[in-house]
């Protein structure tokens, strides 16, 4: 059992990824250790985990996975790099997403992961990304769920579409939501905060000294924490690593997997403690104080069934 006195929720973990079941690049490299991943997460102090979905098929998998544990919840949506798959029959695709959200109100807590990603335009052209981001902004307004947002190298278009959605779909009200894995500039952070969004922080938000300055400036009542596992760990090369105090036992290669150990390069929800430690140091707060504030932020944004 954890001796941690705070309360934690990981707002974004890709737990449908096959690496959590021992499969890497299509090959089974070690036994399915998903239950151990969850045990480590809860032992670290996590009470809930939001499983992120990036497509219709992901959403179905996430809902099924969340049905196995009362502490798991999920998003429903299409990642900007995967929006090409909506092109064949967008109406059917969106209706299927809507149906899944409405059929599982106790598990689907947000629409997303949706947004814009101009760093990876080779996967989906910007015009297609914009079209289906707008459709998902509309979907969120219809089903009454907050947004789980992605924005990479596309801030101007992102702001334009959100502002348009506020006028068209939200009757002038700011839509609730979080921009996850935020690693932008101070001015970009402020623009997002002015739209009413929370900012999600993980290891990728803590790479450089400039990142740390931006994170330090985020108001604590607008801050959420995540791992984006199995990616976005706090690496030794990151500026934020100097503040990490918790170092779990890790095997260097998945072929050398051992029960009870993490695998190098496979981030886990349990590592949210490292993100917490870095941000608490930047904010000059105790980890318990920061965790409880962020927990309150998270439960304010997402309506968990329990």
**Exposed/middle/buried for 71, CB within 10 Å: 0-12, 13-18, 19+?**
middle
The verdict on whether residue 238 carries a ligand-binding annotation is no
Tokens of 177: 């939501």
Q: State yes or no: 155 annotated in a binding site.
A: no
* Annotated binding-site residue? 150: yes
Does 104 belong to an annotated binding site? no
Cβ–Cβ < 8 Å for 137, 165: yes
Cα(195)–Cα(163) distance, rounded to whole angstroms? 8
Measured between alpha carbons, how far is 154 from 128 in angstroms, rounded to an integer? 13
Is residue 295 within 8 Å of residue 6, measured between CB atoms?
yes
Going by the annotation, the residues of the binding site are: 113, 150, 180, 228
Going by the annotation, the residues of the binding site for a divalent metal cation are: 113, 150, 180, 228
């Amino acid at each position: 059992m954890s001796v941690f006195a705070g309360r934690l929720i990981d707002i974004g973990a890709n737990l449908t990824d096959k690496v959590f079941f021992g499969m890497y690049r299509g090959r089974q490299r070690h036994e399915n250790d998903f239950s151990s991943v969850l045990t480590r997460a809860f032992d670290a102090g996590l009470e809930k985990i939001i499983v992120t979905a990036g497509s219709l098929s992901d959403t179905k998998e996430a809902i099924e996975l969340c049905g196995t544990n009362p502490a798991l919840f999920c998003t429903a949506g299409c990642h900007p790099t995967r929006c090409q798959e909506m092109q064949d029959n967008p109406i059917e695709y969106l209706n299927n997403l809507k149906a899944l959200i409405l059929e599982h109100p106790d598990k689907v807590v947000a629409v997303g992961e949706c947004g814009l990603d101009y760093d990876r335009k080779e996967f989906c052209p910007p015009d297609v990304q914009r079209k289906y981001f707008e459709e998902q902004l509309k979907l969120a307004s219809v089903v009454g769920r907050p947004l789980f947002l992605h924005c990479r190298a596309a801030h101007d278009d992102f702001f334009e579409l959100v502002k348009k959605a506020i006028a068209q779909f939200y009757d002038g009200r700011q839509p609730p939501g979080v921009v996850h894995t935020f690693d932008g500039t101070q001015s970009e952070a402020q623009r997002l905060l002015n739209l009413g969004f929370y900012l999600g922080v993980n290891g990728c938000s803590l790479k450089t000294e400039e990142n740390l300055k931006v994170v330090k400036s985020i108001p604590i009542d607008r801050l959420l924490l995540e791992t984006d596992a199995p990616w976005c760990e706090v690496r030794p090369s990151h500026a934020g690593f100097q503040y990490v105090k918790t170092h779990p036992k890790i095997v260097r290669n998945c072929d050398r997997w051992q029960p009870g150990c993490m695998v190098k390069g496979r981030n886990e929800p349990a590592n949210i403690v490292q993100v917490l430690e870095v941000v608490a140091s930047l904010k000059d707060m105790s980890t318990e104080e920061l965790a409880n504030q962020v927990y309150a932020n998270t439960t304010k944004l997402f309506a968990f069934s329990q």
